[in-house]
Copies of this chain bind each other. A is one copy, B any other.
């Protein structure tokens, strides 16, 4: 997605019916918008129509602040779930980490070189270890020590800080704490986790050890939106790598790290570029 010129991006889903694409594109065209990307699909199994359409705002006759209102009648007629985002608006990201550095480093490095279109005003950790890495990338690091006694209170402080800083998206980059339902509900479809297994295999703790003990020949990593059910949120991206009897649990952990960082990065990139739509327990990831 080129960010040189400002674009509007509509993500919409509804029951299939005649004329949806034409009506939507006509709405844009009549108001002077030039469509630069359109991807649309009707699922055979449920007859659900999904569309992502991006158009240039240069020459478009409706102002951003009026666009939602202008489009609402059409969406209402379709009975659609929808949102309109803007390519020029940089999402604001909070990255949560514990002690593992591989995912955080990958995110910060990609961010620095321009692969991830966002601001990162904060990295939050329950351990002090990754301060130095954040310093290297000039990203503010905040340490919230967490123990069973202060967990609820610290999480309250974190949520308040996220709100104060207008955070859009939370990334759990191997954060070893389970968020409360309250936290999760505050950011629906906007908390992205990386789980170190090929979900739904090996839910929960120590998935590499579980994989070793089951004797699988392939291991994986899964990035998904966080819901209140552990490891059950809508999957955004997965990838796998082959292993053999020669690989110890330690080898699985090492090989898995290389997966985790790229799977999380791809999921995050798709999310930031407004290419992900949640449909129940599944996602549509436009290309």
Chain A residues within 8 Å of B, Cβ to Cβ: 2, 18-23, 25-26, 28-29, 34-45, 50, 56, 59, 101-102, 105, 109, 115, 136, 198-202, 212-218, 220, 234-240, 242, 244-246, 248-250, 254, 258, 262, 281-285, 287
Contact = CB atoms under 8 A, between A and B. Distances in A.
Contacts of A29: 19, 21-23, 26
Contact of A237 (B217, B235, B237): B217
Given A29-B22, A40-B39, A282-B245, A198 B218 contact: yes
Main secondary structure of the interface of A (DSSP, over half): mixed
A262 B258 contact: yes
Give the copy number. Answer: 4
A218 B262 CA distance: 15
B240 A218 contact: yes
Contacts of A245: 41, 43, 50, 282-285
B234 A216 contact: no
A43 B36 CA distance: 10
A235 B215 contact: yes
Contacts of A217: 235-238, 285
Contact of A42 (B26, B36, B199): B36
Given A214-B200, A215-B234, A18 B34 contact: yes
Contacts of A22: 25-26, 28-29, 35
14 contacts: A21-B25, A26-B26, A36-B42, A38-B39, A39-B39, A105-B109, A200-B216, A213-B281, A217-B235, A217-B236, A217-B285, A218-B220, A218-B240, A245-B282
Contacts of A45: 212, 248-249
Given A44-B2, A201-B198, A248-B43, A215 B283 contact: yes
A211 to B, nearest CB: 9
Contacts of A201: 198-201
A82 to B, nearest CB: 17
Contact of A38 (B21, B36, B109, B238): B21
A37 B40 contact: yes
B254 A44 contact: no
Contact of A238 (B35, B218, B238, B254): B218
Contact of A214 (B248, B250, B258, B281): B281
Nearest to A202: B200
A287 B255 CA distance: 14
Contacts of A240: 218, 240
Nearest to A45: B248
A102 B105 CA distance: 11
Contacts of A250: 44
By Cβ-Cβ distance, the 5 closest A-B pairs, closest first, are A22-B29, A215-B282, A18-B34, A44-B248, A201-B201
